[in-house]
Structure 1
Amino acid sequence: KLIFYKLHNAELEEDRKQFVETKGTEDGYIPKISDEDEKEFKRLMAVIKEKRNKQSVEIEKQKEENLKAKLSIIGKLKELVETSEDANKSYNDFKKLQQEWNEIKQVPQNKVNELWRSYQLYVEEFYDILKLNNEFRDYDFKKNLELKIRLCEAVERLADEPDVISAFHQLQKLHQEFREIGPVTRDLRNEIWNRFKAASTMVNRRHQQHFDQLKEAEQQNLDQKTVICEIVEAIEYVNLTSFAAWEDKTREVIALQNKWKTIGFAPQKMNVKIFERFRKACDEFFSKKGEFFKGIKDGMNENLKKKEALCEKVEALKDSTDWKETSDILIKLQKEWKTIGSVSRKHSDVVWKRFITACDYFFEQKGKVTSSLHSEEVENLTLKKAIIDRLANMDESASNKEAEEEVRKLVKEWGTIGHVPFREKDKLYEEFNGLVDKHYERLHISISDKKLYHFKSSLSNLQETSQSLYKERERLVRTHDRIKNDIQVYENNLGFFTSSSKKGENLLVEVNRKIEKLKDDLDLVSQKIKVIDEELEKES
């Protein structure tokens, strides 16, 4: 049975490897729970068990018959000892009974020693009363002694037999032979028996030690396998909510499966039970993994339907000339787009291009009919130059807090001022940013604040109409989606790295650093989109 399940498990492992080689991944793999070979094996084992039971009944029946026959022989020996006046004349009858005894084999185990002692008692008594023909007795004693010495030597050699199990089984046969040999002279009986018994004790002790060690090792194996079962059974599936989490846990389960293979057999009565427990836990894991990935696929299909519905809404609005209301609706739809999860790679670019093409068309049409007044730009130029003068002439003796508040105030004021003449904007922007950077550096204002304030100030330098703001917003939305997707990819990829080596640990550190950087960038982009939304709200 153990060999069958070892081969059976090897076949299951080979099946898993072939699945991975074919699909390139373990996603969706569900191990086989049973097969026809296993069913046939269990059927044959049941047949064998039934035959063994019948055979055991027959053997026990034969042992009882043998017991009756040997008891009959003992009775006849007793009669010879008690009634024979001339033992020499009864010698042939005695030898015939000995031969009959030796031809009868197994008896019930609980009767072996008692039966042998009774037999030996009457055999020895018969030899003791042989007085008229010592030649027969002495010859038998001599031959019996030679045979028993050989058996003692054979048992003593078994003490060095490497195969403890084989030595034990050989000892049982030698014991049977020892019992069947007649007695030796009275003065040597205890000596030869003690020698044989001492050698037997050595073999039996080695046999017992072997099985004690084997039993202890099997119990340790059972303990280890029980712990592995408990680990797999304790998996909290509610926490496995991402691809990376499932892949991490899959690697753990496969590692436990590999460890299981290195552990030896458990005690026989528990070996199959503990394996079935482990297989059940693993089957449950891979089944739930399959359900999860099916759910992911269904979720992506649902997300695709939602994004296609948004595309239809945008396409229905792209020719609208109600610029304010339609702009608000499209911005709302763009925000809704961001809340929808990912779709499959083969549909992602197509549906995005469909959506953004319709949005771009509307905002391009809106930009064509939107213009800025030149007089406002000149006035804005004067206002911004005044802010530059105030930045250049700030009181450096003021406290950092006062200075920071003044800089923030001027930057905010700069952002509220509209466009300036196109030919002046770059020079003005560079001069303004140079002064702001100088104050930021002196006041130790954070880099993220610095970037955001630069962005706010740059809004006034976009094109004359709000078309540029919409385009910038669209660009930022795309950037937001791209960064969000990059973060998701990196987080999923974390599941494929291991920290078991220095190289793996360095990769983990690098990927985590990139993720944190991307999250900072994502936050900044979100703030920029919010700034544009506020600017568009003011223009409306």
Structure 2
Amino acid sequence: MMDSQEQTLEQERNIQQPTAETEQNALQQHERKQYQNKQEVLERVREIAQSDEAPQKDEVDYLKTVFYKLHTAEREAKLKDYIANGGNPDTYQIVPDETEEAFKAEMSIIKERRQKLFLEQEQEKQDNLQKKLDIIEKIKAMITSPEEANKSYKDFKALQEEWKEIKNVPVEKANELWRNYQLYVEQFYDLLKLNSEAREYDFKKNLEKKTRLCEAAEKLAETPDAISAFHQLQQLHQEYRETGPVAKELREEIWARFKAASTVINKKHQQYFDERKAQEEENLTRKTALCEKIEAVVKEDNKNSNDWDKHTKAIMELQAEWKTIGFAPQKMNVKIFERFRKACDEFFKNKAEYFRNRKEEYKNNADKKRALIEKAKALQDSTDWKSTSDKFINLQKEWKTIGTVPKKMGDLMWQEFNGICNKFFEAANAAGAGTRSAEHQNLNKKREIVEQLKALTEQAGDDLQAKVQKLVAEYQAVGHVPYKEKDKIYEEYHAILDKLYKTLNISSAKRRLNNFKDNLKQVAGRGENALDNERARLMRQYEQLKNEVQTYENNLGFLNASSKKGNSLIDEMNRKVQKLKDQVQLVREKIKAIDSNKQQ
């Protein structure tokens, strides 16, 4: 009867109990201490290596995993800092870590101790197996007859106690060994006819013990920790198996009670792992979504540093979220992490490549700007003011064509270059200090000319343009004025001059356009393609004028950037640009007039 009961219990345990790998994974998360740094892990490993306690495989594996997780994160952080500070990842060298070397040394000691302990335990199991086989043989020898059983009762009880004291045996032999032992124990009790009082006493004691085991198993249902309850139940199983039989009429009843209590615990244990499995599946779904997000970020086009900074921030946020999610199912946990890690590595590899190329570009630009600084230094003491001014202007123009360098370096280089330019132009201005009196006279002359130009704004007539040109020629013939008054008289002169030119250009343009429109019929009378030829000529003139405007504006932009104060050249160029723009507009109107004539 007990043989069938134990078989049933063993089958139920095999159905309910999760795999060892799943159980180990759960226990690691359920019980393991959380270490903050490598030093804490090393101290625990050293404690295990140097103490007498038996190293537990689960904890040793856990410590190794945690240590290298922290070690890898620390090494990656150092590499990122190195790259961020301008280092070349291709030449980066990993510095030996003393903590890692100490960790390996202690782990080597633990490995040797565990190997020695394993061999000792295996030998002990074999010895225990032989001892139990010997006990079974001795009991078999006692059950040849009722008389022999009665006479050997005390020896039988001693063998039972000895059996209980013998612990672990090889796993693959345990069930068969137990069934044989239980079979011969029951046969011994069945032959124990004469000493019925002793037999009944044993049955009573065994019933009391099995009842206590049932009560303990039933109480485990109140334990909130399903894993702890399950492991306590395994100890009760062991005790139940080591307890002798009860009276035949009670065997089914006590067995049913113990089985029912065991089933409750097993179901709670199974439910715990079912819920855990569901949570791990949900974690896998969330981690898969993060992998898809980070892979999408990797595919984004990064055109400049701002793009890389923005996407780096996004990657780091995804990495932070990843850390908040628990384990995925065991068979997928490593794969999903490798997928996530691969995407992160690809992003930072591409980023390093971008900044490596940009660093080379920065270097080339910096070399070019340093060359211009050296050229400026060679010119800064020259007293050939006109020629050297042109050279400085060309250097400033070339400076604008060179690409960027890192901001801090660029600011320093610009300050040096601009300082040299300013020093020269200040010296050039100071060179004319002896002409101050003449400059004041010139200022008065220019003011008189400005007043005369203002008076012309109230006049009209065909000779207006000639009067304006005469005053402009007089103004341009006047020499330099005091530096502090230069901008003011310049602005007054050009303000009134722009007003006059606008008036002259508008009226003149209108007359020319009207004359052109009147002559269109004469042009058309010259032949079938006369208008088309005239339009083609005007289009060529239009493009030519546009190019001239573009050239002047480009030159003006450079001159304005190099000298905010400006000079007479800038004034003249501004007027030429406006005049060209008026001509462009006139040509455009002529083309429109031809197009309208052809449509009539």
**Normalised TM-score (structure 2):** 0.54
Tell me the amino acid that sits aligned with residue 236 of structure 2.
L
Structure 2 partner of 1:441: none
Structure 2 partner of 1:63: 125
1:475 to 540, 548, 560: 560
2:218 to 140, 153, 156: 156
Is contact 2:145–2:191 with CA below 8 Å preserved after alignment? no
Decide whether aligned partners of structure 1 residues 117 and 2 sit closer, same or farther in structure 2, where only a CA change above 3 A counts: closer
Residue 406 of structure 2 corresponds to residue 340 of structure 1: no
Deviation at 1:191, TM superposition (A): 1.3
Deviation at 1:95, TM superposition (A): 1.4
Is contact 2:287–2:322 with CA below 8 Å preserved after alignment? yes
Structure 1 partner of 2:181: 119
Deviation at 1:39, TM superposition (A): 3.7
Instruction: Give deviations 1:380-417, integer Å, cap 9, x for gaps.
Output: 979x9699999xxxxxxxxxxxxxxxxxxxxxxx9xx9
Q: How many residues align?
A: 420
Deviation at 1:242, TM superposition (A): 2.9
Is contact 1:222–1:267 with CA below 8 Å preserved after alignment? yes
Decide whether aligned partners of structure 1 residues 51 and 199 sit closer, same or farther in structure 2, where only a CA change above 3 A counts: same
Tell me the amino acid that sits aligned with residue 40 of structure 1.
A
**Distance across 2 between alignment mates of 1:206 and 1:269:** 24
Is contact 1:164–1:210 with CA below 8 Å preserved after alignment? yes
Deviation at 1:90, TM superposition (A): 2.5
**Distance across 1 between alignment mates of 2:209 and 2:323:** 50
Deviation at 1:186, TM superposition (A): 0.5
Decide whether aligned partners of structure 1 residues 470 and 254 sit closer, same or farther in structure 2, where only a CA change above 3 A counts: closer
Instruction: Give deviations 1:306-328, integer Å, cap 9, x for gaps.
Output: 234335556659766887x985x
Decide whether aligned partners of structure 1 residues 56 and 472 sit closer, same or farther in structure 2, where only a CA change above 3 A counts: closer
Deviation at 1:50, TM superposition (A): 4.6
**Distance across 2 between alignment mates of 1:291 and 1:54:** 50
Is contact 2:392–2:421 with CA below 8 Å preserved after alignment? no
Is contact 1:229–1:281 with CA below 8 Å preserved after alignment? yes
RMSD across aligned positions (CA): 5.5
Instruction: Give deviations 1:11-46, integer Å, cap 9, x for gaps.
Output: 9989999999x99x9655999887332343344335
Q: Which has the higher contact order (CA 8 A, sep 6+)?
A: 1
Matching of residues 93-492 of structure 1 within 5 Å: 93-215=155-277, 217-218=279-280, 221=283, 236=298, 239-240=301-302, 242-265=304-327, 299-311=361-373, 313=375, 316=379, 333-343=395-405, 344=409, 345-355=411-421, 358=424, 425-427=494-496, 429=498, 473-476=558-561
Give percent identity, aligned residues only: 44
Instruction: Give deviations 1:462-498, integer Å, cap 9, x for gaps.
Output: xxxxxxx98874334689xxxxxxxxxxxxxxxxxxx
Deviation at 1:134, TM superposition (A): 1.6
**Distance across 2 between alignment mates of 1:13 and 1:361:** 59
Deviation at 1:263, TM superposition (A): 2.6
Instruction: Give deviations 1:354-377, integer Å, cap 9, x for gaps.
Output: 2465578889999x9xx9x99xx9
Instruction: Give deviations 1:49-80, integer Å, cap 9, x for gaps.
Output: 45434433432333233223323322332332
**Distance across 2 between alignment mates of 1:36 and 1:274:** 32
Deviation at 1:534, TM superposition (A): 7.4
**Distance across 2 between alignment mates of 1:155 and 1:285:** 55
2:244 is paired with a residue whose SS is coil
1:263 is paired with a residue whose SS is coil
**Distance across 2 between alignment mates of 1:429 and 1:284:** 61
**Distance across 2 between alignment mates of 1:387 and 1:352:** 47
Tell me the amino acid that sits aligned with residue 418 of structure 2.
W
Deviation at 1:271, TM superposition (A): 6.9
Deviation at 1:148, TM superposition (A): 0.2
Deviation at 1:169, TM superposition (A): 2.0
1:88 is paired with a residue whose SS is helix
**Distance across 1 between alignment mates of 2:461 and 2:106:** 99
1:82 is paired with a residue whose SS is coil
**Distance across 2 between alignment mates of 1:302 and 1:148:** 88
2:150 is paired with a residue whose SS is coil
Is contact 1:155–1:196 with CA below 8 Å preserved after alignment? yes
Instruction: Give deviations 1:97-125, integer Å, cap 9, x for gaps.
Output: 21222122122223333332322222222
**Normalised TM-score (structure 1):** 0.59
Is contact 2:294–2:344 with CA below 8 Å preserved after alignment? yes
Is contact 2:233–2:262 with CA below 8 Å preserved after alignment? yes
Is contact 1:33–1:283 with CA below 8 Å preserved after alignment? no
Tell me the amino acid that sits aligned with residue 166 of structure 1.
S
Decide whether aligned partners of structure 1 residues 534 and 157 sit closer, same or farther in structure 2, where only a CA change above 3 A counts: farther
Tell me the amino acid that sits aligned with residue 260 of structure 2.
A
Unaligned 5+ segments in structure 1 are 391-413, 437-468, 480-527
Report the structure number with the largest CA radius of gyration. Answer: 2
Is contact 2:284–2:328 with CA below 8 Å preserved after alignment? yes
Structure 1 partner of 2:102: 40
Tell me the amino acid that sits aligned with residue 321 of structure 2.
K
**Distance across 2 between alignment mates of 1:12 and 1:226:** 23
Decide whether aligned partners of structure 1 residues 316 and 184 sit closer, same or farther in structure 2, where only a CA change above 3 A counts: same
**Distance across 2 between alignment mates of 1:3 and 1:197:** 38
Tell me the amino acid that sits aligned with residue 426 of structure 1.
A
Residue 144 of structure 2 corresponds to residue 82 of structure 1: yes
Unaligned 5+ segments in structure 2 are 1-60, 436-441, 463-467, 476-488, 506-553, 565-569, 581-600
**Distance across 2 between alignment mates of 1:218 and 1:93:** 55
Tell me the amino acid that sits aligned with residue 102 of structure 1.
K
Deviation at 1:136, TM superposition (A): 1.0
Tell me the amino acid that sits aligned with residue 249 of structure 2.
D
**Distance across 2 between alignment mates of 1:155 and 1:259:** 42
Is contact 1:28–1:290 with CA below 8 Å preserved after alignment? no
Tell me the amino acid that sits aligned with residue 199 of structure 1.
A
Deviation at 1:178, TM superposition (A): 0.8
Instruction: Give deviations 1:242-267, integer Å, cap 9, x for gaps.
Output: 33233223322332332233233456
**Distance across 2 between alignment mates of 1:261 and 1:419:** 80
Decide whether aligned partners of structure 1 residues 198 and 266 sit closer, same or farther in structure 2, where only a CA change above 3 A counts: same
